[in-house]
């Protein structure tokens, strides 16, 4: 990081309001392909650089007191990409889970996968389960890697489980549906970040993101760093979250 960016990062760190941290940040890591294209490299190279970015951002989020981070690494719609790109993404995700396991554990992070597990390669599930089990009692940030994830799919899966459990129409409430989502203890998303300038949420955390503050940045994911995360959190801290009320009631 150059000196000006380092200086700005320290200023933002000083201004960080520990009483008003987003407890759960969701990140749509977009722009790997464009990052690579602009350098004359392959899309896979862009994903490799994107995967490299994850480590620093997760560690920094943990250091500054974020409790939960959800990373949109592969959506239910991403299976439609060319098969070599799908395979490369799955290889990167598996390698990340294995490579970062001990470091994440040492940092006190918890780990889990969020998504439709039954359609994933057994090896990815196996490696993820090893990490989840190893880190389950850690006190720090929980890292939720969203793979084969879709917000609508999550709600559909919750409804199926609700019916299978024999609930009646009069049982249905927001609390009940929340309790059947992929990881029921995960709180609502407070801040949803999307890189690369696209301004949509693309089926990410539909239910838990109902009241998320949205932050869109033109920065491409492989360039997203600690300073960019701090900028997003500062923007969040300057917003007024009213949850349907008026300012005077807050």
Binding residue (CB under 6 A) for ligand FPP from 61, 96, 201, 215? 96
* Binding status of residue 101 toward ligand FPP by CB under 6 A: no
The catalytic position among 14, 17, 63, 78 is: 78
- Exposure pattern of 214-237 as b/e (b: 16+ CB <10 Å)? bbbbebbbbbbbbbbbbbbbbebb
* Residue 190 known to be catalytic: no
Q: Which of residues 11-30 bind ligand FPP (CB under 6 A)?
A: 29-30
Residue that the structure tokens 């520990």 belong to: 18
The answer to whether 216 contacts ligand FPP (rule: CB under 6 A) is: no
Which residue, 124 or 158, is less far from ligand FPP as judged by CB?
124
Q: Where in 123-198 does DSSP place strands (E)?
A: 142-149, 191-194
* 221 interacts with ligand FPP by CB under 6 A: yes
Nearer to ligand FPP, 160 or 200 (CB): 200
Measured between alpha carbons, how far is 145 from 111 in angstroms, rounded to an integer? 8
| Catalytic hit among 10, 14, 20, 30 | 30
Please identify, among the stretches 91-99, 129-137, 174-182, 233-241, the one whose residues bind ligand FPP according to the rule CB under 6 A: 91-99
Q: How far apart are CA 98 and CA 121, in angstroms?
A: 15
Binding part of the chain for ligand FPP, among 12-20, 88-96, 129-137, 201-209 by CB under 6 A, reads 88-96
CB 26 within 8 A of CB 70: yes
65 within 8 A of 25, measured Cβ to Cβ: no
- Applying CB under 6 A, which of residues 44, 54, 114, 229 lies at the interface with ligand FPP? 54
Q: Which is nearer to ligand FPP, 27 or 158 (CB)?
A: 27
Q: In angstroms, rounded to a whole number, what is the distance separating the alpha carbons of residues 43 and 31?
A: 10
Element at 160 (helix H, strand E): helix 151-164
Nearer of residues 88 and 212 to ligand FPP, judged by Cβ: 88
| Binding string, residues 168-207; x marks residues near ligand FPP by CB under 6 A | ----------------------------x-----------
* Catalytic status, residue 78: yes
Local structure of 98: helix, strand or coil: helix
Let me know: does 108 contact 33? Beta carbons within 8 Å. no
Residue 179 corresponds to which tokens in the numbers above? Answer: 């309790």
Return all residues near 117 (Cβ < 8 A) that are at least 6 apart.
125, 148
Q: Does residue 104 belong to the site contacting ligand FPP (CB under 6 A)?
A: no
In whole angstroms, the minimum distance from the beta carbon of 151 to ligand FPP comes to 15
Closest CA to 74 of 129, 24, 40, 32: 32
- Would you please indicate which residues are annotated as catalytic (active-site) residues? 30, 78
Residues that bind ligand FPP (CB under 6 A): 29-34, 47, 50-51, 54, 71, 73, 78, 89, 92-93, 96, 145, 196, 221
């Amino acid at each position: 990081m150059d000196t000006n960016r380092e200086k700005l990062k320290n200023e933002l760190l000083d201004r960080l309001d520990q009483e008003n941290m987003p407890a759960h940040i969701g990140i749509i890591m977009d722009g790997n392909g464009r990052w690579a294209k602009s350098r004359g490299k392959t899309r896979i190279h862009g994903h490799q650089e994107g995967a490299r970015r994850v480590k620093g951002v997760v560690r920094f989020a943990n250091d500054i007191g974020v409790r939960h981070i959800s990373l949109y690494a592969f959506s239910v719609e991403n299976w439609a990409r060319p098969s070599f790109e799908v395979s490369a993404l799955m290889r990167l995700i598996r390698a990340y889970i294995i490579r970062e396991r001990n470091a994440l554990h040492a940092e006190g992070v918890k780990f889990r996968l969020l998504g439709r597990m039954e359609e994933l390669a057994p090896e990815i599930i196996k490696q993820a389960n090893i990490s989840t089990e190893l880190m389950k009692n850690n006190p720090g940030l929980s890292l939720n890697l969203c793979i084969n994830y879709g917000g609508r799919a999550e709600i559909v899966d919750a409804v199926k489980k609700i019916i299978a459990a024999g609930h009646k129409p009069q049982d249905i409430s927001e609390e009940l549906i929340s309790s059947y989502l992929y990881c029921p203890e995960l709180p609502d998303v407070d801040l949803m970040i999307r890189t690369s300038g696209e301004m949509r949420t693309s089926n990410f955390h539909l239910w838990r993101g109902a009241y998320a503050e949205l932050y869109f940045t033109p920065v491409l994911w492989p360039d997203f760093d600690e300073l960019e995360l701090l900028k997003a959190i500062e923007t969040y801290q300057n917003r007024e979250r009213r949850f349907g009320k008026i300012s005077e009631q807050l």
